[in-house]
Amino acid sequence: MVNDAGQLYTIEGVAAAILLLVTVYIVLGTTTVFTPGDSHISDLQLVQLGDDALAMMDTPTQYVETYNISTEKQSVLENDIMNPTAANLTNFYSNLTNYLNVKSVSRDHLNYNAIVWYRNSTSNSTGNYQFNSSSFNMTGREHYVRVTRLVYLSGLPNQSPPNPSPTITSLNPAMDNRPQTVLLDVTIWRD
């Protein structure tokens, strides 16, 4: 004879299968698997773009004569930092802005703020000064990234210059004109 127990097992099995299917549908529909790289890809691309731009600017391109002592290769970046005249600051601005805003790489307009860190040999302390900026308004939708570059400034080999460079001392009187490595710290953000 057939009893009612078989029908209960069948109804229980169908209800369990429907419950499992609904649970799997909800779990797969609401979760997204993020890898650590997914959340920072745009930041890493921005850092790489800034590193590449500073590297291109710091590649020696021309020979210059330093106080009639020797000729050596000098990069555009070194020349801009050693001689921060209005023309060189405009040159730095246009070069870095053009390198950062390459339309095939970035569709956004990128702004920057550049600071030079140096060591003063007389007071044995570190200092900094505002070198150049495209905008002081950090109004972008996303946060900023920092890119740094050590730039060697040739100065005078093995001796002090007769007079400090008037352009460097006008930008910051505490920075002396001697061979040294300075840190160029550039903050980049999207507008």
Q: What is the pLDDT of residues 20-68, one digit of tens each?
A: 999 999 988 887 766 666 667 778 888 898 999 999 998 887 655 555 5
Spell out where 16-80 has E strands.
Answer: 60-66, 70-75
Answer whether residue 73 is part of any domain.
yes
Same domain, yes or no: 72 and 160: yes
Q: Tokens 């229980």 sit at which residue?
A: 12
Answer whether residue 104 is part of any domain.
yes
pLDDT above 60 (res 71): no
- Cα separations in angstroms, 59 against 62, 76, 169, 187: 9, 7, 25, 21
| CA separation for the pair 108, 85 (Å, rounded) | 29
Nearest to 133 by CA among 162, 99, 92, 168: 92
Answer whether residue 36 is part of any domain.
no
Q: Structurally, how many domains does the chain consist of?
A: 2
Answer whether residue 23 is part of any domain.
yes
Same domain, yes or no: 90 and 179: yes
Mean local confidence (pLDDT), 69-82: 75
Confidence of residue 15 (pLDDT cuts 50, 70, 90): very high
Same domain, yes or no: 111 and 80: yes
Same domain, yes or no: 112 and 161: yes
Same domain, yes or no: 99 and 16: no
Share of the chain above pLDDT 70, in %: 68
Tell me the pairing of strands 125-133 and 145-153: unpaired
List the domain range (segments joined by +) for residue 9: 1-31
| CA separation for the pair 45, 188 (Å, rounded) | 12
